[in-house]
Every structure is written in C-alpha cells, then in structure tokens.
C-alpha cells in the first residue's frame, strides 16, 4: 500500500491467516513457541504505525505467544486507523490437525469478539471457524455488520465459496474472506480466491 502510493483512505486491510509464519510451521510446537512474540509486539507495533500513517483499519492474523509456556493462539488482531489494537480474537475452532491435542500446535480460544469501529461493527472469525454457523450467528447477535475471515484454507474452492456465502446470508452480514496463496513450510498449497460477500 505504502510503496504503491495509497492516495485515498482504504479499509479494512485484511491479511490471510498466520501471515507472518504461514499456517503449518513445520517444526515442533515447543520450537515454534520460542519464535513467536507476545501481543502487543513487533508485528503489531509496525503494522500499527502504518495503519496510523495511512489512516486504515487492519486485520492482522498471526500466531500469538501465550503467557503460559508452549501455549500458542491463532489470533486475529484488529488495529484501528489510529494504530491502536482495538480487539484480539483467538480462533475457537482450530482445524483438527492444528489443535495441540490433535498433534498440532494451537490452543483454542473461548470468546466471540465484535469491535465497534468507524467502518461499522466488525466480528472476527478465522478459517475453519466459518464451517460452524453458531459462531457467526453469535457475532451477528452481538451486532456485527461485517465478519472478517482470514484463512489458510486448502480443502476445496466449493467449501470455501459455500461457507462464505452461507455465513453472510444466514446472518445478514458482509463477509470479507481472505485466503492464502501458495505453499507453506509443510508444502500445503493454498488456492487463494479471496472474496467479499454481501448480506
């Protein structure tokens, strides 16, 4: 954005799931934990400064180092146009192979998050969360007008398309779904196909 001369206010800017590391870390959880940062941290500081400079809201999905040893959260951080962290959501439905108890590396979150912004009320989900209608319904009940869904989804375009449209239609919200493109550290290939779905 900055390098390409952002002349008009944009928003929100939404990155794909686990943008700084890729979805699958390709290493044991203990090693991965040691590489991560707490929030706030260097990633949120840098993106926050850019958000303030460019006057945009940013959804930054990264793995977050938990306060307890080896606790890793798959997080979506909403940074407002003043560069401040306005909300943090921890993925409540990790994909089965991602979940620490299933041989993965993440600990599930426990709360639905809706943030009141200048753009409207934004609810956050992450990837596999979108397969479960109840979470998006809770966000809508809490007043969400926009639901952001940063993802690293590789199952199929049909599942991606169907679940994004269903969550928007079911709840009368906009769904902004951003999917990764290319390979990660474990050679999973992501097909992109980001989309904005109207209510």
Kindly report, residue by residue over 71-129, the tens digit of the pLDDT: 999 999 999 999 999 999 999 999 999 998 888 999 999 999 999 999 999 999 999 99
Place of tokens 């990633």: 43
Residue 103 lies in a domain: yes
Active-site annotation holds for 91: yes
Q: Any idea what the CATH number is for the domain that residue 129 is in?
A: 3.60.110.10
Residue 6 lies in a domain: no
Active-site annotation holds for 118: no
3-state secondary structure of 98: coil
Residue 8 lies in a domain: no
Phi-psi map region of 165: left, alpha, beta (phi>0 left; psi -120 to 50 alpha): alpha
Active-site annotation holds for 17: yes
Residue 177 lies in a domain: yes
| Segments forming the whole domain that contains residue 192 | 13-197
Burial of 187 (0-12, 13-18, 19+ CB in 10 A): exposed
| Catalytic entry in 17, 64, 98, 145 | 17
Strand order of the β-sheet with 195-197 is: 114-117, 120-124, 146-151, 174-179, 195-197
pTM: 0.92
Tokens at 161, concatenated: 């398309």
pLDDT digits (tens, 9 = 90+) for 157-177: 999 999 999 999 999 999 999
Q: What is the pLDDT of residue 74?
A: 98
Burial of 91 (0-12, 13-18, 19+ CB in 10 A): buried
Percentage, residues of the chain above pLDDT 90: 83
């Amino acid at each position: 954005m900055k390098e390409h001369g952002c002349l008009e206010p944009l928003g929100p800017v939404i990155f794909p799931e686990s943008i700084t590391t890729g979805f699958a870390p390709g290493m044991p959880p203990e090693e991965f934990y040691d590489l991560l940062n707490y929030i706030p941290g260097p990633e949120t500081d840098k993106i926050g400064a850019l958000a303030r400079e460019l006057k945009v809201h940013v959804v930054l999905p990264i793995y977050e180092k938990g306060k307890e040893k080896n606790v890793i959260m798959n997080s979506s951080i909403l940074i407002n146009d003043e560069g401040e962290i306005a909300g943090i959501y921890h993925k409540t439905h990790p994909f089965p192979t991602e979940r620490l108890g299933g041989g993965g590396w993440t600990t599930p979150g426990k709360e639905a998050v809706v943030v009141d912004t200048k753009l409207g009320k934004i609810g956050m989900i992450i990837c596999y969360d979108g397969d479960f209608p109840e979470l998006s319904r809770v966000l809508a009940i809490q007043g969400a007008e926009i639901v952001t869904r940063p993802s690293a989804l590789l199952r199929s375009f049909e599942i991606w398309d169907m679940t994004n449209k269903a969550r928007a239609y079911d709840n009368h919200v906009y769904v902004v779904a951003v999917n990764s493109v290319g390979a990660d550290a474990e050679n999973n290939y992501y097909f992109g196909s980001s989309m904005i779905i109207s209510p």
